[in-house]
Amino acid sequence: MSRYRKKSTSVPEVSTASLPDIVFMLLFFFMTVTVMKDTVLKVDNVLPHATEVKKLEKKDRVISIHIGKPSSELREVLGSEPRIQLEDKFANVSEVGPFVLAKLAKMPEHIRPYVTISLKVDKKANMGIIDDVKEELRKVGALKINYTTYEGEVFRDR
Partner 1 sequence: MGKRAEVPTVNAGSMADIAFLLLIFFLVTTTIETDAGLARMLPSTAKSPPVTIKHKNLLEVVINKDNELLVEGEEMPLHELRKTAIAFIDNAGEKDSCNYCKGEGLAESSDNPNAAVISVKNTRETTYEAYIAVQNELVAAYNELRNREGQRRFKQDYTAMEKAYTSSETDAETKQELKTKIKLLQDLYPLHIVEPKN
**# of chain residues touching partner 1 (CB under 8 A):** 53
Could you tell me the smallest distance in angstroms from the CB atom of residue 96 to partner 1?
13
The rounded distance, in Å, linking the Cα atoms of 99 and 103 is: 6
122 binds partner 1 (CB under 8 A): yes
The rounded distance, in Å, linking the Cα atoms of 78 and 4 is: 83
Q: Which of 24, 89, 92, 93 touches partner 1 (CB under 8 A)?
A: 24
Residue of 81, 43, 45, 67 lying closest to 133 (CA atoms): 67
Pairing relationship of beta strands 83-86 and 89-91 according to DSSP bridges: antiparallel
145 binds partner 1 (CB under 8 A): yes
Q: Restricting to residues 25-54, which ones interact with partner 1 according to CB under 8 A?
A: 26-27, 30-31, 33-36, 48, 50-54
Q: Restricting to residues 51-70, which ones interact with partner 1 according to CB under 8 A?
A: 51-57, 62
Phi, psi torsion values for 114, nearest 5 degrees: -100, 5
The rounded distance, in Å, linking the Cα atoms of 65 and 45 is: 11
130 binds partner 1 (CB under 8 A): yes
Phi, psi torsion values for 5, nearest 5 degrees: -65, -40
**Kind plus residue range of the DSSP H or E element containing 6:** helix 2-9
4 binds partner 1 (CB under 8 A): no
139 binds partner 1 (CB under 8 A): yes
Instruction: Return the number of other C-beta atoms located less than 10 Å from residue 78's C-beta.
Output: 15
* Residue closer to partner 1, measured from CB, 4 or 155: 155
Q: Interface with partner 1 by CB under 8 A: which residues?
A: 16, 19-20, 23-24, 26-27, 30-31, 33-36, 48, 50-57, 62, 116, 118-119, 121-128, 130-131, 134, 137-139, 141-149, 151, 154-155, 158
